[in-house]
Amino acid sequence: MDTKALRQKILDLAIRGKLVPQDPNDEPASVLLERIKAEKERLIKEGKIKRSKKAAKTSDTPHYGNVPFEVPSGWVWCELKELCNKFSTGPFGSMVHKSDYIDNSDYPLINPANIIDGKIDVTKAVRISADKAKELERYILEEYDILLARRGDLSKCAIVINEAIGAYCGTGSFFLHLNGMDARFFSVVYGSTYLQKILKSECVGATMDNLNQGVLENILMPYPPLSEQQRIVAEIEKWFTLIDTLEADSTNLQNLIASTKSKVLDLAIHGKLVPQDPNDEPAIELLKCINPKAEITCDNGH
């Protein structure tokens, strides 16, 4: 069974509204989106967040017409920047040098290499000095921020939780914070074939793929009601747990098969796989016919 393809199929069904049934009692995503836009405008006027450089009034019009695929009633399409309260590139390489790294400090710097299987591994992160940490305060990661690899493997995506809260975004990453979209649902969309195809076609670099913030901000996102996002995430977690079990069972089965083959061969060369027939010509006699001068040492002529 191709479990990788199965996982991908589940993600693709999820972002098309085909994984869980819709609930007509859910608040339509369009209503929530209007509230998000109003709240965002308020925060911009208060100077708490900045308006996206490319955020003209395009977000004031519904995203109908030339959409990537049909979504259920109650869903809408919106650009990612409409949902972002925070979207930032990590510090430039010139801002962090090897001399800033200190073993066992309290300030981990998270790079794409620390994003493993959708989780952030803080234990292997490089660490920076207290002075450098103060200089990089604007890059502190908060709970439920989303961390993305900015170069190389652009499928890397992780949610900031547990030990990663309070760490610092590294030079090879983006981090963003969403309003009105469950961070886990964003991860579902980000890992889907739909979005990954866009990144692979639009974010091509000379030596490695590089994620372009402008491309990402303007990607159309399928946007379900918030309660449905949470139902989708719960359903995916259920299926992925089952797939994990299948993969573990498959690994155990393969190990058992390999062990059994080795045992069978071991029994065979020790004469313990099949019973001996006393009517068989002893091997010692056959060997003498093949090479009369052979020196034979054995305690069993057969």
Q: What confidence tens digit (pLDDT) does each residue in 264-302 have?
A: 777 678 777 788 888 888 887 888 888 887 777 766 656
Is 255 within the bounds of a domain? no
Q: Is residue 98 part of a domain?
A: yes
In a domain, 293, yes or no: no
pLDDT tens figures, 95-144: 998 889 998 899 999 999 999 999 999 999 999 999 999 999 999 999 99
The predicted pLDDT at position 50 comes to 77
Q: Which residue has the tokens 């369009």?
A: 30
Q: Decide: 141 and 160 in contact? Cβ < 8 Å.
A: yes
Angle at 233 between CA 173 and CA 14, to 5 degrees: 95
What's the chain's Rg over C-alpha atoms?
29
Residue 301 identity: G
Domain annotation covers residue 240? no
Residue pair 44/182 in contact by the 8 Å Cβ criterion: no
| In contact, 12 and 230? CB cutoff 8 Å | no
Q: Are 217 and 52 in contact (CB under 8 A)?
A: yes
- Whether residue 258 lies inside any domain: the answer is no
As a whole number, mean pLDDT of residues 31-36 equals: 95
| CA–CA distances in Å: residue 143 to residues 3, 137, 164, 165, 231 | 31, 15, 8, 5, 21
Inform me whether the pLDDT recorded for 206 exceeds 60. Answer: no
How many independent structural domains does the chain possess? Answer: 1
Identify the CATH number of the domain in which residue 159 sits.
3.90.220.20
Per the confidence metrics, is the pTM higher than 0.75?
yes
Please give the pLDDT value at position 55: 46
pLDDT value of position 136: 95
Sign of CA dihedral 179, 35, 216, 51: negative
CB 40 within 8 A of CB 95: no
Has residue 5 been placed in a domain?
no
% of the chain residues with pLDDT over 70 = 87
| 171 domain-assigned | yes
Structural domain range at position 180: 17-235
Q: Please, what is the Cα angle at 17 between 16 and 22, to 5 degrees?
A: 165
Q: What is the pLDDT of residues 154-191, one digit of tens each?
A: 999 999 999 999 999 998 899 999 999 999 999 999 99
Q: What is the pLDDT of residues 62-82, one digit of tens each?
A: 444 578 999 999 999 999 999
Residue linked to tokens 């796989």: 273
Q: Considering the domain boundaries, does residue 6 fall inside one?
A: no
